Amino acid sequence: ETGVTQSPTHLIKTRGQQVTLRCSSQSGHNTVSWYQQALGQGPQFIFQYYREEENGRGNFPPRFSGLQFPNYSSELNVNALELDDSALYLCAFLGDPWDTQYFGPGTRLTVL
């Protein structure tokens, strides 16, 4: 087990709604990344947070936003949901050895 937890496990929303996904780690590591994984594909990098600041962003529109809290847990917010946002959303904390990212179990989001 990686010690990374995500909530909720599953979520169903309708187009146009907003969603907040959460991620935390027992490790105390201060860097968290979020990824979107469409069915049958590899994860795609959304963004990374380091000490509460965004530290790199992938090719995702501004309606994907995030937060990191002083305890290093994190939220991913998606506004104006679209059907194509249906995916598994993964968070990962940086751990030892350096650069290795340890993933949580993911949140399965379905947009109807």
Partner 1 sequence: GESVGLHLPTLSVQEGDNSIINCAYSNSASDYFIWYKQESGKGPQFIIDIRSNMDKRQGQRVTVLLNKTVKHLSLQIAATQPGDSAVYFCAEINNAGNMLTFGGGTRLMVKP
Contacts with partner 1 by CB under 8 A lie at 2, 4, 31, 33, 35, 40-45, 48, 50, 55-56, 58, 90, 92, 97, 99-106
- The distance of closest approach from Cβ of residue 51 to partner 1 in the complex, given in angstroms and rounded to an integer, is 13
- C-alpha 83/C-alpha 103 separation (Å) is 25
> What is the Cα Rg of the chain in Å?
13
- C-alpha 53/C-alpha 46 separation (Å) is 14
- Specify the residue, 21 or 92, whose C-beta has the smaller distance to partner 1: 92
- The distance of closest approach from Cβ of residue 93 to partner 1 in the complex, given in angstroms and rounded to an integer, is 11
- The distance of closest approach from Cβ of residue 38 to partner 1 in the complex, given in angstroms and rounded to an integer, is 10
Q: Which of 111, 108, 110 is CA-nearest to residue 9? A: 108
**3-class state of residue 85 by DSSP:** helix
Give 71's contacts (C-beta < 8 A, 6+ positions apart): 24
- Specify the residue, 81 or 107, whose C-beta has the smaller distance to partner 1: 107
- Specify the residue, 92 or 111, whose C-beta has the smaller distance to partner 1: 92
- Specify the residue, 40 or 62, whose C-beta has the smaller distance to partner 1: 40
